[in-house]
A and B are shown apart, each in its own frame.
Chain A
C-alpha cells in the first residue's frame, strides 16, 4: 500500500507542478470564460440594467420638462445617477447563483488566491454591465439634450467610474450573499462608498460642458479605480470567507 500511496501523491504533485506558473492564469481565464458563457445564456440578466437605465432616463423629460436648457443643466448628474443605480441593481446577482449551487464553496477551496478569482468575476460584471452602460449613455444623452462635445467624456467617465463601482459593489455583494434578502442592505452598504465616484464622474461631464479641465476629474476617477483595484479584491475575498462561514 505504501507504494500505491506514493504514486497517488506523486500524481497529484505532477498535476500541480505541470503548470506551476500558468496555473493561476488558467484558473482566472477559465472563470472569466465560464461567467461570460453563463451570462450569454441568460441575456435577461444582462439586459435588465440597460433597460432600467433607458427607462429612467426616458421618464425625466416627461416628468420634469422638455425644455432643452433645463435638461442640459441636469443631464450629467441624471445620467450618472441613473447609471449608478442600474449598476447597483445587477450587483446582487454577482455571487448569488454561485452561492446557491455550491460553486462558491468550490471557488474558495481552489488552490489559488481568492482575490484573483474574485477579480475575474468582477471583471465580467463590468464587461457586461458597466461597459454597456457607458456605451449606451451617449444615446440617452441625446434625449436629455446633453450639449455636443461632452458625449465622449460621458462615455469615458462612465467606463472608468463603473469599473470602480463594480469593484466596490462586489465587496457589498460578497458580504450580503449569505443573506436571503440582502438587496436593501447591499444598497445601504455600498451607496456611501459610491459617492466619490459619482462626484468626480458627473463632475467630469460637467467640466467638459463648461470647457474647463475635465482631465483632472478623469485623473481622479483613474486614481479611485487604481485604489479600488488594489484594495477591493482582498476585501471581496475576506467578505466571501465571512459569508460562507457564517
Chain B
C-alpha cells in the first residue's frame, strides 16, 4: 500500500473568479508540499478541497488511485487536518482538548500519550490550565500537539506557524521533514520561508490572477 493523493484538472471558482484551473497534482509519501501564493489566491480553498471538506470543485481527486468520494472513510482515517482556527476549546484544558481528539481519531495510548505530546510541544506544566488563559501561540501548540499524538500518514496544515515563536518554528519544521522522511506526506501553506530540503516541493497559486 502506498500513499498517493492525486488531483486531475482541478479547478475552483469563487465569486466569478477562477482561483485555479487545470491544476494537476501528484503527491506521494516522503514529500513536504508547500502551497504558496499571495493572500486570497486560494491556498486555504485548495487545502480544504484536498482534505475532502469542499465539494464544489471541478476535476477529479484520487486517494491511492481511487476516487475520493468512494474511499472517504479510509481517507479520513489517514488524514490530520489543522485549519486556520486551532480547534481548541477555551473552556477546556489542553489535556481535555487533546483527549477528545484522541478519542475522536481513535488514537491509542490514553492519557500518557496526550501528556507526552503536550510535553513535546513545550506545554508541560500547562496541561491543566484552561486553554482560554493560554497565549495564542500556546493555543496553537495545543492544536499542533495532535501531530505527536496519532500516526496519520497525511498532514494538511493551514498556516501552522501562526503565532509560534522562533524555536517552535524550527522544531515544527524539523518535525514536518522528519514526518516526510518516515514516509508520510505533509501539505502546508505558510508565508514563512521553509529551509530548502530534498523533500520539499512547492505549488505556486495566484500567478494567473496577478498577471491578468
Chain A residues in contact with chain B, CB under 8 A? 1-9, 11-12, 14-16, 18-19, 23, 26-27, 29-31, 34, 37-38, 41-42, 97, 100-103, 105-112, 244-245
Contacts and interface: CB of A to CB of B under 8 A. Distances in A.
B87 A101 contact: yes
Contact of A109 (B54, B79, B90): B79
B183 A15 contact: no
Interface in B162-204: 181-184
Contact of B103 (A30, A102, A105, A106): A30
Given A41-B130, A102-B87, 17 more contacts: A1-B183, A5-B2, A9-B78, A11-B151, A12-B153, A15-B150, A15-B151, A16-B77, A19-B106, A37-B92, A38-B89, A41-B91, A101-B90, A102-B86, A110-B76, A110-B104, A245-B55
Interface in B129-164: 130, 150-153
By secondary structure, the B interface counts as loop
B85 A15 contact: no
A23 B76 CA distance: 14
A9 B1 contact: yes
Contact of B100 (A2, A14, A23, A34): A34
A111 B106 contact: yes
Given A8-B182, A8-B183, A101-B86, A109 B91 contact: no
B87 A30 contact: no
Contacts, number: 129
Interface residues of B, number: 47
Nearest to A22: B106
27 contacts: A4-B182, A5-B30, A8-B183, A8-B184, A9-B3, A9-B78, A11-B151, A12-B78, A12-B151, A18-B106, A19-B106, A26-B103, A30-B100, A34-B89, A34-B92, A34-B100, A37-B92, A38-B92, A101-B86, A102-B85, A102-B86, A105-B81, A105-B83, A108-B53, A109-B53, A245-B54, A245-B56
Contact of B183 (A4, A100, A103): A4
Interface of B: 1-3, 29-30, 51-56, 73, 76-79, 81, 83-92, 96, 99-108, 130, 150-153, 181-184
Contacts of A245: 53-56
A110 B105 contact: yes
Minimum-distance CB pairs A-B, first 7: A5-B183, A102-B85, A30-B103, A11-B151, A102-B87, A4-B183, A111-B76
A97 B81 CA distance: 19
A102 B160 CA distance: 14
Given A1-B181, A18-B108, A106-B104, A12 B77 contact: yes
Nearest to A34: B100
Contact of A7 (B54, B152, B182): B182
